[in-house]
Structure 1
Amino acid sequence: MRKLLLSFCAFLLVSLDQLSKYWIAAQMNPGETQPFFPGLFSLTYLRNYGAAFSILQHQRWLFALITLVVLTVAVYYLIKNIKGDLLLLFGLILIIAGGLGNFIDRLCLGYVIDMINLDFMEFAVFNLADSYLTVGVLVLMIALWRDGRNGNQD
């Protein structure tokens, strides 16, 4: 049952990411910005041919290879710990969903669609998959730290 629930969560997260990117591409032109929650964030349609903060532009196959390695490791640890700590599994699912969301873009489009532009601070434009990855790594670090403090290291 746990495998089915985790698979559904990953599918739902990837679907939300892909639907948001599809909607942005259908509604806006590249470079266009529209207010969404004034003062909080706006939507800016960008095509990111690089990694975070647009570094390493046009290195599509390098990113594909790195993503496949990260996804393989994350899926391995998910399967290995399927009956373990839910916080750890949640972090891994977020990382897997984020990796898949951006991998699909790179594979199908050759770039990643970014759209979330924080209005209250100067920061890179990002997407839901990026958010999943960031929160997933944070959750994973908390789960591993907590596990280490409890003496449950393998």
Structure 2
Amino acid sequence: MITFNSRSMKILTYSLFIILLDQFSKFSVLSTLGFERSKSIIPNLLNFTLVKNKGAAFSLFINSTNSLTVISIIASLLLITIILKSPPKSYWNCIGLAYLLGGTVGNGIDRLFKGYVLDFLELVPINFPIFNVADISINIAIICFIIDMIKDNPKTNY
């Protein structure tokens, strides 16, 4: 039986905030900028350039939207199950799960309802793929999981 404890609800609530922030940012940029145009936000550093990403990170698996949508839904359901059935006790793991769920669902919503992911954050000085808030969330999750692994593992003396 799934129990709704305080820790699980905090993780899910934080994930919901990330999803809303991601979707709101994409909607705002789409409604004010539109496609195929770019707006300098911080000169020589950051542009808003809205693009349709039909692949995954770094445009991998381009035109695999159906497969990526199914994977996104399964991953989201699996994360929710983990959070509800056995919420982690570690602070960094909790934060990581919240960010990972938020990012996965944020991009999953795009794939499910639009057939592509809206990306709009463009770093001007480097040749880096355009990304979005959900992508940032997934990367923050990875950093949190790494911190959790380093922090919880006792140092061994060799």
Q: Same fold (TM over 0.5)?
A: yes
The answer to whether structure 1 residue 57 and structure 2 residue 67 are counterparts is no
Deviations 1:24-79 (A, max 9, x none): 11112212110011132110010111111222222112102222333234334333
How much is the aligned-residue C-alpha RMSD, in angstroms? Answer: 1.9
Supply the AA of the counterpart residue of 1:103: G
Partner of 1:66: 71
| Pairing partner for 2:92 from 87, 91, 103 | 87
CA separation of 1:136 and 1:70: change in aligned 2, threshold 3 A: same
In 2 relative to 1, CA 131–83 (structure 1 residues): closer, same or farther, beyond 3 Å? closer
Displacement of 1:84: 0.4
- Taking a change above 3 Å as real, the CA distance of residues 51 and 83 of structure 1, as seen in their structure-2 partners, is closer
Q: Does 1:21 align with 2:29?
A: no
Question: What's the counterpart of residue 47 of structure 1?
Answer: 52
Is residue 102 from structure 1 mapped to residue 107 from structure 2 by the alignment? yes
Once residues 47 and 107 of structure 2 are traced to their aligned partners in structure 1, the CA distance between those partners, rounded to angstroms, is 20
Tell me the TM-score normalised to structure 2 length.
Answer: 0.86
Partners of 1:107 and 1:37 in 2: CA distance: 32
> Are the equivalent residues in 1 in contact too, given 2:110–2:116 (CA < 8 A)?
yes
Q: How high is the TM-score relative to the length of structure 1? A: 0.88
Identity of aligned residues (%): 25
Q: CA 1:74 to 1:146, structure 2 compared with 1: closer, same or farther past 3 Å?
A: farther
Quote the residue 1:137 is aligned against.
142
Equivalent pair of 2:11/2:97 in contact (CA under 8 Å): no
**Separation in structure 1 between the aligned mates of residue 80 and residue 152 of structure 2, nearest angstrom:** 19
Alpha-carbon distance in structure 1 between the residues aligned to 2:115 and 2:66: 9
- Taking the aligned partners of 2:93 and 2:134, their CA distance within structure 1 comes to 18
Deviation at 1:137, TM superposition (A): 1.3
Cα distance in 2 for residues equivalent to 1:24 and 1:96: 23
User: 2-side partners of 1:99 and 1:43: how far apart?
Assistant: 22
Identify unmatched segments of 5+ residues in structure 2.
1-5
Please identify, of 66-75 and 124-133, the stretch whose mean Cα deviation from structure 2 is larger.
66-75
**Aligned counterpart, 2:10:** 5
> 2:84 is matched by which residue type in structure 1?
I
Total equivalences in the alignment: 151
Q: Which contiguous aligned blocks of 4+ residues in structure 1 show a shift greater than 6 angstroms? A: none
Alignment partners' CA distance in 1, 2:59 and 2:11: 31
